[in-house]
Amino acid sequence: MLSTARTTWSPACAGPRRPASDASRRAAVFLPGGVHAPWPRSHSVAARVASSSTNPVGCLEVAAPWSGIGRPAPPIMDVDVAAPAAAVSSEERVRQLVMKQAGLAASAAARPPRMAQLAGRDAGALDAAFDRCGAVCKEYAKTFYLATQLMTPERRRAIWAIYGKIDQTMLPPSGDLSTDATDHHLTDGDHGDRAVWCRRTDELVDGPNAAHTSALALDRWESRLEDVFAGRPYDMLDAALADAVAAFPAVNARPFRDMIEGMRMDLARSRYATFDDLYLYCYRVAGTVGLMTVPIMGVSPDSGADHLGTVYAGALALGVANQLTNILRDVGEDASRGRIYLPQDELAMAGISEADIFAGRVTDEWRCFMKGQIARARAYFRQAEQGAAELNQESRWPVWASLLLYRQILDEIEANDYDNFTKRAYVPKAKKLAALPKAYFRSLRLPPSQRH
C-alpha cells in the first residue's frame, strides 16, 4: 500500500503544543486495484518530530510508492485482518489479504459461471431488479451511472447490483432485517427503493435509522449475505446480487464480510488512536468495494495476469483515498455526532485537542494539520491511477470519473481555507461536467505496461 506515513512536523507547523485529550466517516465508494505487481513499501505511521524539516507540504512527508521491482512477491496466505499482531501493521495485513484476493481471482478467471445458481432464475424478475439498481444509481450517482454505459450489459448490471446510492427510507425504523417477506421477496413492494448492497450495508449504521441498528441486525445482514452467495436471495435486490456473483465466479465473499466488519467498528468506536487503526477502518468500509468489483470490471488483455496485482492495489488505494476524503470533508458533521475520525496521535503532535475540533477552531495548527492529511489522501489517489490504467478499457471510464471527481473535493477543502467545520467542500456541477471528458480520454490511453 502506499506509504502515507513518514509524518514530519516542520517548524512552521510546530507552534505551542497544547495537550490533546483522549482522542470516521465512511462512504460507499468506488474501487480500482493489485499478483506480481508493484506494491508500495509499508511504513510505520507513527509520527516523529523533525528538528529541521522545511517540508513545503505542511506537516506530512509522503513517501513515494515502492515499485516492487527486483523483489519477489510475498507468499499468499490466509489472513485475518482482525487478529491482533503487535509486530505487523494493519496496512501490511490488508496488503497480504489483497494479494490473496488477487491470486484467487486469477485462479477463478478460468472457471465457468455458477450455472447451478443461474439455472431456473426468473428472467423477468431479475430484469426488474437490475433496472431498480440502475435507476437508483442514476438518481444518486449520475456521473458514475453515465460512465458505466460503456461497459457490457452484464458487467454494468453486476456493478449496479454491488455499488450505488440509496433511498434514505430503505430500512425499517427498528433496524430489524427480518421484515415481512411479502414486501421484499422478489417483488418491488412498499420498500422497493431499497438499493444495492454496499449502500444498503452502509445505511445500517450511517442512515436515518442508524440509532436503532444493533449488532444483531448486522449478524442478520451477514447471514443474508451468505444466503446470497449460496443462491438463496431474500428479496429482489438480493436476487440481483446473487445473479451477479453467479455470473462472475471470481467475486469472493470475503470483502463483503469485511465491509460488514467495518459497520461493526462504527457501532463500537468513535476514535482512532493512530493512522494504522484508521487505515483498517478505511479498508473495511471503502477499500473492500474495489475488491468486490475488480473481478467484474476485468483487467486489460494487454496487461494480462502479471498486472492483476497492480489493479487490486489500485482498487484498494482508491477506496482508501475516497474514504479519507470523506473524513476530511465531514469533520464538522462527524464532530456534531461526537465522532472524530482523525488519528489521535497526529492531532496531539499538531497541538490540536478534541475541544478545538468540537469548537470548530480553524487555527494555523489546524491548517497545517489538514495540509498533511490532504497530502496523504492525494498519495493514495496517485497509486489508484496505476491500477485504473490497467483495467479493461470499457471499465476504465467510471473509475477515472470517480477518481478525478472525488479528488476535487480536496481542492475545495483548500479553497475553503481548511474550514471543514462550517463549510461543506462541494464540487460545482460545472467542474464535475468538465471532469467527465478528461476521465474519458484518460480511459483511452494504453496501459503503462504496454507503453514503450
For residue 451, name the pLDDT band (cuts at 50, 70, 90).
low
134 and 106 both lie in a single domain: no
| Final residue belonging to a domain, choices 231, 248, 265 | 248
Q: Whole-angstrom Cα distance, residue 309 to residue 409? A: 28
Is 449 within a domain?
no
Is 211 within a domain?
yes
226 and 319 both lie in a single domain: no
Eight-class DSSP state of 210: G
Question: Is 321's pLDDT higher than 90?
Answer: yes
Q: Whole-angstrom Cα distance, residue 4 to residue 19? A: 24
For the beta sheet containing 60-61, the strands, ordered from the edge strand earlier in sequence to the opposite edge, are: 48-49, 6-9, 60-61
What are the Cα distances from residue 373, in Å, to 6, 24, 370? 12, 14, 5
Are the CB atoms for 289 and 29 separated by under 8 Å? yes
For residue 303, name the pLDDT band (cuts at 50, 70, 90).
low
Is 431 within a domain?
no
Question: Is 113's pLDDT higher than 80?
Answer: no
Q: Whole-angstrom Cα distance, residue 221 to residue 218? A: 5
Q: Whole-angstrom Cα distance, residue 106 to residue 100? A: 10
243 and 260 both lie in a single domain: no
Q: Whole-angstrom Cα distance, residue 304 to residue 295? A: 13
Handedness of CA 73, 78, 82, 84 (dihedral sign): negative
Handedness of CA 365, 366, 370, 371 (dihedral sign): negative
Question: Is 178's pLDDT higher than 60?
Answer: no
Tell me the residue type at 436. Answer: L
SS3 135: helix
| Out of 42-46, 214-218, 315-319, 435-439, least confident range | 42-46
For residue 410, name the pLDDT band (cuts at 50, 70, 90).
very high
Q: Please give the model's pTM, rounded to 2 decimal places.
A: 0.74
> What's the domain count of the chain?
2
346 and 202 both lie in a single domain: no
Is 386 within a domain?
yes
Is 446 within a domain?
no
pLDDT in the model for residue 84: 55
103 and 127 both lie in a single domain: no
Question: Is 359's pLDDT higher than 60?
Answer: yes
pLDDT in the model for residue 424: 92
261 and 236 both lie in a single domain: no
273 and 415 both lie in a single domain: yes
For residue 215, name the pLDDT band (cuts at 50, 70, 90).
confident
Mean pLDDT of 251-257: 91
What are φ and ψ of residue 310, in 5° steps? -60, -40
For residue 301, name the pLDDT band (cuts at 50, 70, 90).
confident
pLDDT in the model for residue 143: 75
| Final residue belonging to a domain, choices 248, 264, 284 | 248
pLDDT in tens, 6-41: 333 333 344 444 444 433 344 433 333 333 333 333
Question: Is 377's pLDDT higher than 70?
Answer: yes
Are the CB atoms for 102 and 35 separated by under 8 Å? yes
Q: Whole-angstrom Cα distance, residue 205 to residue 202? A: 6
pLDDT in the model for residue 307: 80
- Report the percentage of the chain scoring pLDDT > 90: 36
Nearest to 322 by CA among 381, 265, 390, 388: 381
Could you tell me the CATH number of the domain that includes residue 56?
1.10.600.10
Is 334 within a domain?
yes
65 and 93 both lie in a single domain: yes
Between the two ends of the chain, the Cα-to-Cα distance in Å is: 26
Is 443 within a domain?
no
Question: Is 246's pLDDT higher than 80?
Answer: yes
Q: Whole-angstrom Cα distance, residue 407 to residue 439? A: 12
117 and 219 both lie in a single domain: yes
Q: Give alpha helix (H) positions in 79-196.
A: 90-108, 115-118, 123-140, 142-147, 153-162, 181-184
pLDDT in tens, 415-441: 999 999 999 998 998 998 888 899 999
For residue 382, name the pLDDT band (cuts at 50, 70, 90).
very high
305 and 377 both lie in a single domain: yes
Is 67 within a domain?
yes
Q: Whole-angstrom Cα distance, residue 127 to residue 279? A: 38
97 and 207 both lie in a single domain: no
pLDDT in the model for residue 422: 95
pLDDT in the model for residue 20: 41
For residue 352, name the pLDDT band (cuts at 50, 70, 90).
very high
For residue 188, name the pLDDT band (cuts at 50, 70, 90).
very low
106 and 130 both lie in a single domain: no
For the residues of 405-448, what is the DSSP string, one character each?
HHHHHHHHHHHTTT-TTTS-----HHHHHHHHHHHHHHHHSPPG
Average pLDDT, the chain: 74
Residue-number span of the structural domain to which 276 is assigned: 1-110+255-420
